[in-house]
Amino acid sequence: MNTASLTMSEIRAGLISRQFSAVELTREALRFAEAENPKTNAYISLSPERALTAAEGVDRKLAAGEDPGVLAGVPIAVKDVILTKGVKTTCASKLLENYIPPYDATAVQRLEAAGGVIIGKANCDEFAMGGSNENSAFGPVRNPVALDRVPGGSSGGSAAVVAQGTAVGSLGSDTGGSIRQPASFCGVVGVTPTYGRVSRYGLVAFASSLDHIGPFGKNVDDAARLLQAIAGRDEMDATSAFAPVEDYLAALADTNVRGMKLGLPTEYFNGLESESGSLISKAIDVLKSKGCDVQEISLPHTEYALASYYIICTAEASSNLARYDGVRYTTRADADTLSGMYRNTRGDGFGAECKRRIMLGTYVLTHGYYDAYYLKAQRVRNLIAQDFAKAFAEVDAIVAPVSPFPAFKLGEKIDDPLAMYLADIYTITGDLAGVPCMSVPCGTTAEGLPVGLQILCNHFEEAKMFRLAKAYESSR
């Protein structure tokens, strides 16, 4: 049994036909993950006890002739910013290195209710802040496709485990591109659902108005299957949406996209590295050959998105990270006074990128600057959301690159925060508008580095987005 190559539907078929049991599959997945992880450092920890308990549950259901669930027996990694009861959740931060959550995230609960087996916690940038997975207190993740390169970030570990085959699927989180960019760098499928589609309950907050949980898979089917299991209203998250969840797997049975109108935003092709550009063009040709009508469109406020995003996300981050003060969350640095204790704990505990964002966020929220930065950024966010609303009145989907360039070398951008932020230029707009978007592999450069094609649809149109992605995937 080779867990690295199995898809979720193959696992389901294997379990139902008794080729293997969920416990056997889980043992093998854990063994393989443990053996292979030193190459990439994609896991922070494995959770064998929890995994085997879940697998036993799946086997019991199978033995009783019950439906074992849409994710039956699937070995899944969960980004270490998503809470798992009784299993250490570090946020890749020294501050939380011993934090054991007292409850599960809703997405985690739903994964297991659907038969999923959580085998470990994936490495990431500290508190999900970064685009290269180099900001982890537990060391960087290496891209399994090219070990001297970054896997992207912040969900670098979640993308790497799927690319490496040390998990069959995974959950990540996306605030400004943290699912799509690593999916693109590692050559896997990554999905950022509509804002509110998946409950954020138990996702450690970075920028609450922009944070999303979403899945990674080897292919579109697997990613859709994972989303199916975790999507839907949750009263524990007031921003969780009421819209009914579509049947994604049923939608994928029909991949006829003839007549679908696709928009190519001209602003997303400026500054695109040429090899990535030609792979994206080829992908667009494939979609044309499937009968899609392709037209150029404009999202005119794109050039302001990055500035707007980094004001909003740092402002929200500085507020959200205020709670790590040495009182409730495990790590404390001693001092004689309360305020000294806060300062020392945070000074010792946070890494450079978190400190930078806390400082930026504190500055933009400061009395006297609030209107000029934070309110201004929110007005610009509204213009960006309106750009999308206008575009989706004309087209069914938007097709664009994910990243201006493929995976870069470890250390290449770590000393230049602005250069690192500029890598998010094509992904942050989707988060600002809250629309569903995804990365689907569209080939590799001459050096063998994967490139992702980004597909964006209107709110709650994940089924349509998956259909288009699969139509492309199955004919490229």
Just list the catalytic residues: 79, 154, 178
Give dist(CA 256, CA 329) in Å, integer. Answer: 51
Provide, rounded to whole angstroms, the least separation between the CB of residue 208 and another protein: 9
CB of 305 to another protein, least distance (A): 10
First to last CA, the chain: 28
Nearer to another protein, 193 or 215 (CB): 193
Residue number, 52 or 333, with CB nearest to another protein: 333
Nearest to another protein of 361, 441 (CB atom): 361
Shortest CB 453 distance to another protein, Å: 24
Residue 332 CB burial class (10 angstroms; 0-12, 13-18, ≥19): middle
Helices 220-230, 462-473: crossing angle, 10 deg rounding: 160
Residue closest to 119 by CA, chosen among 199, 27, 6? 27
* Measured distance CA(77)–CA(165) in Å, rounded: 11
The nearest distance, CB 7 to another protein, in angstroms, is 32
Nearer Cβ to another protein, position 115 or 430?
430
> Minimum Å distance from CB 333 to another protein?
9
- Identify which of residues 160 and 437 has a Cβ nearer to another protein in the complex: 437
